[in-house]
Chains A and B, each alone.
Chain A
Amino acid sequence: MPAQGWRGRDVISILDFTREDLCSLFEAAERMKRLLSEGRLPRLLEGKIVALAFFEPSTRTRLSFEAAAKRLGAETIGFTGEEAVSVAKGENLADTVRMLDGYADVIVIRHRYEGTALYAAEVAEKPVINAGDGKQHHPTQAMLDLFTVKELFGGIDGLVYGVLGDLRFGRAASSFILGLTLFKPEKVYLISPPLLRTRPEVRVRLEEAGIRYEEVDRLEDVLGELDVLYVTRIQKERFPDPREYEKVRGSYRVTRELLEKHAKPGLRVLHPLPRVDEIAFDVDETSYAAYFIQARNGVPVRMALLSLVLGAEV
């Protein structure tokens, strides 16, 4: 049964959804995961076209959407990075979106400017899925992150979360924090160098939602309390000033030694990947590492999302 209210819906921010919406998405994702593991391909989107408009390159997210669409029997069209420049050739974004709107059944968009997905959704008649706009939102990443937590712990409520890294410019971190406000975490620690603190609009949302949170500088100080540690990398290209990037690069690093010394045995470490050096490779073999499980959840979660938005029976 398709969940109520998903069909034709734009996916701009994780906050566009309720807890119930996300629970129905997670159920659909579980079914997709089971079908994938059984080698059965539900061709729910046969005859549909998914447009992948990646104005900013992102191999992982694009491939994950492409795989999700193809697993469901849909065709994909689109462009990425440099190619976007020639597609747009003097054309503004609104006109490019109008063109794709005429060709496809759903538009997946990634762009360097914040607010692009909302703007595209205002222009397009077909549903628009935000695959990351600037430093602001990456709702499908947050969906798969939350799905992974639910899978690992059986639920999202009542856990102590630490979000480590670039909380100012990192959209995965922001979207994850925003996503947590739809649930009832025990506490959220925002761990970052002072220069990379969470933006005011995200803090306002935490306050409105009545979530207990604390901003701290050092992971060591809170690591022992955490159930989930969400690590993000520092992305140089998001910094308006390269000198600021130089000040904070390499300012945190999660190692096996650190985890073994401070962490609870049940701690699980998440990371949207790719990583640079913020998680040492020696963590990969430990029971803490959950980021590869998380990465594999990208396809089933996006399959569920595409199916729901396009109104297919999941």
Chain B
Amino acid sequence: MAPSEGLLVRRIREGTVIDHIPAGRALAVLRILGITGREGLRVAVVMNVESRKLGWKDIVKVEGRHLSSEEVNRIALIAPTATINIVKDYRVVEKKRVKLPPVIEGIISCTNPTCITRKPREPVRPRFRLLSEHPLRLQCVYCGTIMEEEDVLEQLEEQGG
């Protein structure tokens, strides 16, 4: 761990550190988590840090908040390399890698305008089968439409932005 990085991690007493985010996607990760900064949470965003694994990376630290597994899945869509560090009392007590489940439900919507999941007033949640992780390829369970990484990124970066 680089010294500057270690310093920043240690600044969090209680919360979550999302590390190894591909450079430039930190703000999108915050948007996906629905964190605007107005919640009163202390948030640190570190962008374009040197990384042995990725070359360059972003880091997001959120104090006082733990992530649900659905939130972790959301992050995996946009930052598949991310690691989630749970921090308690200034120490990393748990390290998780994000992992896309074989079926992704309710996070993104289908790009096909005549998919049943896009029909208003139907109690149906969008559901996608994971075809491939690198590059990301998802297939709508309902209409079969294949969504490529660009489609997913575009949508997740727009959401709540």
**Chain A interface (Cβ < 8 Å from any Cβ of B):** 92-94, 111-116, 118-119, 122, 133-136, 199-201, 204, 240
Contact = CB atoms under 8 A, between A and B. Distances in A.
Interface of B is mostly: loop
Contact of B116 (A113, A199, A201): A113
Contact of B114 (A92, A93, A114, A122): A114
Given A92-B121, A93-B122, A136 B113 contact: no
Contact of A114 (B121, B139, B142, B146): B142
Given A114-B142, A204-B146, A119 B122 contact: yes
Interface of B: 112-119, 121-124, 131, 139-146
A201 B114 contact: no
A112 B112 CA distance: 13
B144 A136 contact: yes
A201 B113 contact: no
Contact of B143 (A114, A200, A240): A114
Contacts of A119: 116, 122, 124, 142
A116 B141 CA distance: 11
B151 to A, nearest CB: 11
Contact of B139 (A92, A93, A136, A201): A201
B110 to A, nearest CB: 8
A254 to B, nearest CB: 28
Contacts of B114: 112-114, 134-135, 240
B108 to A, nearest CB: 15
Contacts of B131: 204
Contacts of A92: 121-123
Given A115-B117, A204-B131, 13 more contacts: A92-B121, A92-B123, A94-B124, A111-B116, A113-B115, A114-B112, A114-B143, A114-B144, A118-B116, A118-B142, A119-B142, A133-B116, A134-B143
12 contacts: A94-B122, A94-B124, A111-B116, A113-B115, A113-B119, A114-B145, A115-B116, A116-B116, A134-B114, A199-B145, A201-B144, A204-B146
Nearest to A174: B144
A134 B110 CA distance: 15
Contacts of B124: 94, 119, 122
A133 B122 CA distance: 16
Contacts of B121: 92
> Most A CB atoms within 10 A — which of B113, B114, B145?
B114
B143 to A, nearest CB: 3
B133 to A, nearest CB: 16
Nearest to A178: B144
Contact of A115 (B113, B123, B140, B146): B140
A122 B141 CA distance: 12
Nearest to A112: B114
Contacts of A134: 114, 143
Contacts of B118: 113
Contacts of B144: 114-115, 136, 199, 201
> Most A CB atoms within 10 A — which of B121, B124, B145?
B124
Contacts of A204: 131, 146
A246 B141 CA distance: 32
A115 B115 contact: yes
Contacts of B123: 92, 94
A200 B140 CA distance: 12
A96 to B, nearest CB: 11
Nearest to B117: A115
Nearest to B124: A119
B122 A114 contact: no
Nearest to B144: A201
A187 B84 CA distance: 49
Contacts of B116: 93, 111, 113-116, 118-119, 133
